[in-house]
Amino acid sequence: MLDNGRISSIQLSMLLFMTEAPTAILFPPSIIAEQAGPDAWISVLVPISLYGFIVALICIALARRYPKQVFTEYLPDIVGWLPGKLLALVYTLVFIHIASFILAECSLFIRTAFLRETPSLPVVMIILIAVVYGVFLGIEVIARHNELVFPLFILSMFLLIVLVANNIDLNNLRPVLAKGFIPVLSGSYQTAIFRGEIFILLMLFPYLNQKTEAHKSVMTVMIMMMIFATTIIFVTIGVFGPLVTSQLTFPYYSLARYISLAKILEQMELYLVIFWMAGIIVKLAIFLHSACIAAASTFNFRNYRMTIIPIAIISTVVCEALYSTNYLNFINFFKNIWPLYGLSFELIVPGIVLLVAIIRRKGLTSSAQTKS
């Protein structure tokens, strides 16, 4: 194993929550609202969560066959050396791509919330300083850092919901299921991929110190995400109505701006965004760490740390060239390519690999897993 850190099941839960939550509240609410209208919360509650559970179950089943290796390490063992290595390389690129994509989201959001006249590149570079440092220190440190960030993140979200709660108009959420299930499903299709980011579990599983608790901790995360995302979209649509929500770029930010309590607690959005920022730094660190581990294991490096800087530079370049300077490209990718792209790498490829592993009897069988 390239990173000999050890994380507990609670730390894993918190990490996985942080890989999902910060971006799940950024763009998806408006996209879902556009498709599903007032039923957006049903879309988040049922189909998206279902997708998340399926991805999580497949990933756990696959990861438990190789409890001491990350996904890219055991791929060659399952599907053969050459295809395995190629697939591992593809996954490395996918992680880099997702990292650069998150960077673009982050940079866009920061330039909306904090620094309206700053170009994207310095923002991306400065955020990467923190992220690269975290990745350099290893997964154990990221997990511990996240233990500090997680409660603050939850607290900030709780505050947000409580402070805008008096503005919720339940009429915005009616009629329920007026057009049947089709809009609900089409809304979930475009954004389920965010929930499926839990597939990063494939790269985090070997660090877990008690493998038997994997199911419990991952299911906890999925249930937490289900509650969390549903609440956020419920509140957003309750406050703004489906039409306005679908037009907003950052519904979460608009929601935070909406806070006004007795004319004293105004301009709260920056304080809340601070904790979102802390969360996204953790999320980026997890993806960048996975990208580095994937690259190092694909090319058989002994130390993953030497891949950090090159990968950070690559993701900066990808982010700058493709997304952060070209908002249309970004949105296009989001709405049209990302769903299929994500679906294939989160669900289909791991699913096929799992099938192959079962058929070829690779890795630990289920009886051996319970023993270990």
Partner 1 sequence: MFEWLFRGMKKSLKNTRTKNPAAYGSRSQTESRETSSELDQNNTVLKEIFDHCDVLVVHEFSLGNIDSIRSMLVYLGPLVDQDMLQKNLMGSLLNVNEVPKNNISDWLISRIIPSGEARKENIWERIANDIAAGMVALFINGENFVILLPVMEDLKRQISQPVTETTARGSQSAFNEDIRTNIALLQKRLPTTRLALKNFKIGELSKTEISMIYLKGYVKQELLEEIEERLNRIKIDGIPESGYLEEFIQDNPWSVFSAIDSTERPDRLAGHILEGHVGLLINNTPFALILPMTLVSQIQSPEDYSNRYWFSSFIRLLRWGALLFSALLPSFYISVISYHQELIPLPLLLSIAVSRERIPFPGFLEALIMELTFEILREAGVRIPKSFGQTISIVGAIVIGQAAVMAGLVSPIMVIVVALTAIASYTIPSSSLANSVRILRFPFMIAAAFMGLFGMIVGVSIISYHLCSLRSFGVPYLSPLAPLSYGDLKDTLIRAPAWKMNLRPRLVGGLEPQRQHKNLKPGPSDNRTKIIQRRIRGK
**Residue 257 CB, nearest distance to partner 1 (Å)?**
10
Cα–Cα distance measured from residue 335 to residue 28, given in angstroms and rounded to the nearest whole number:
10
Contact string (CB under 8 A) for partner 1, positions 18-57, x = contact: ----------------------------------------
**Residue 319 CB, nearest distance to partner 1 (Å)?**
16
Which residue, 214 or 277, is less far from partner 1 as judged by CB?
Answer: 277
Whether 287 and 131 have beta carbons less than 8 Å apart is answered as: no
Contact string (CB under 8 A) for partner 1, positions 147-176, x = contact: xxx---------------------------
* Binding piece for partner 1, criterion CB under 8 A, among 45-53, 159-167, 223-231, 262-270: 262-270
Local structure of 93: helix, strand or coil? helix
- 278-337 residues in contact with partner 1 (CB under 8 A) are 278, 281, 306
Any residues with CB less than 8 A from the CB of 368 and at least 6 apart, and which? none
Whether 320 and 173 have beta carbons less than 8 Å apart is answered as: no
Cα–Cα distance measured from residue 41 to residue 231, given in angstroms and rounded to the nearest whole number:
8
Exactly one of 60, 70, 78, 142 binds partner 1 (CB under 8 A); that residue is 142
Which residue, 67 or 138, is less far from partner 1 as judged by CB?
Answer: 138
Cα–Cα distance measured from residue 71 to residue 88, given in angstroms and rounded to the nearest whole number:
8
Exactly one of 83, 112, 129, 299 binds partner 1 (CB under 8 A); that residue is 129
Cα–Cα distance measured from residue 295 to residue 281, given in angstroms and rounded to the nearest whole number:
21
Q: Transcribe 248-292 into DSSP letters.
A: -S-HHHHHHHT--BTTTB-S-HHHHHHHHHHHHHHHHHHHHHHHH
Q: Which residues sit at the interface with partner 1, rule CB under 8 A?
A: 8, 10-11, 110, 114-115, 118, 122-123, 126-127, 129-130, 133-134, 137-138, 141-145, 147-149, 266-267, 270, 274, 277-278, 281, 306
